[in-house]
Amino acid sequence: MIRRGQLVLVLLVAAAALLSLLVFQRKVSATSDPAGDRANASSPEAASRGAHRVSAQSSEPTAQTSEEPNVLEQAAAPTPTAHLTPAPAEPVPDTPESSSLPAATVLENMRTTIRQYAAAFGENPVGTNPEITSALSGQNRKQINFLKADGNRVNAKGELVDTWGTPYFFHQLSAHQMEIRSAGPDHVMYTADDLIIR
């Protein structure tokens, strides 16, 4: 007999798969219409509508515990479909930490920052990248600044960016779990070089 928790998990996985398919179809149709909504598809609002999981590639091993799934792993090779042109990245000044730390470490530091916020407020910050950045930088009810010199940087648009200057994609999985995606060195989301962590 299936327990209620198992049923909820199955339904969540099915919903995530459906959202993944819808986002993929939208991206493919955007590439076939060059004058269409391609610019809008890369906006934080459009990114917050899409939510799906792709594994990540990392050259650094990660420590595993019994509670945490493997969050940095080799991504499956993308299927040969239309190529997505990356949006030009906003130039973001390097910091000593951002230029010296491996990308996977910077992403783990971002996860730590999200967890510190959750410990202080009982839940993760929610919203688009700029809204989450604002909450982490002190625009919260306790006025706590969670952003430290740990390799993560904020661009001119108020977005947290990865090692390569591309805005992170934050996918809220629950009140206490968030998936954070880095587009990787190619600056394109949902490709084989993406890094992802929960």
Can you give the pLDDT at residue 2?
62
Can you give the pLDDT at residue 144?
95
State pLDDT tens for residues 47-81. Answer: 444 433 333 343 343 444 444 444 454 344 444 44
Can you give the pLDDT at residue 63?
41
Q: Are residues 32 and 116 in the same domain?
A: no
Q: Is 173 exposed, middle or buried (0-12, 13-18, 19+ CB in 10 A)?
A: middle
What is the pTM for the complete model shown?
0.56
Cα separation, 85 vs 88, whole angstroms: 9
Radius of gyration over every alpha carbon of the chain, rounded to an integer in angstroms: 17
Residue 130's domain spans which residues? 54-80+88-197
Kind of pairing between the strands at 169-172 and 160-161: unpaired
Asked if residue 47 belongs to a domain, the reply is no
State the total domains in the chain: 2
Q: Are residues 69 and 16 in the same domain?
A: no
Q: Are 26 and 38 in contact (CB under 8 A)?
A: no
For the segment 96-111, the average pLDDT, to the nearest whole number, is: 83
Asked if residue 49 belongs to a domain, the reply is no
Q: Are 58 and 75 in contact (CB under 8 A)?
A: no
Nearest to 62 by CA among 50, 49, 71, 51: 71
Q: Are 102 and 60 in contact (CB under 8 A)?
A: yes
Asked if residue 20 belongs to a domain, the reply is yes
Q: How far is CA 143 from the centre of its chain?
A: 24
Asked if residue 60 belongs to a domain, the reply is yes
For the segment 20-43, the average pLDDT, to the nearest whole number, is: 51
Q: Are residues 169 and 142 in the same domain?
A: yes
3-class DSSP assignment, residue 8: helix
The percent of residues above 70 in pLDDT, for the chain, comes to: 52
Cα separation, 94 vs 116, whole angstroms: 24
Using the predicted structure, report yes or no on whether residue 46 has a pLDDT greater than 50.
no
Average pLDDT over the chain, rounded to whole?
A: 72
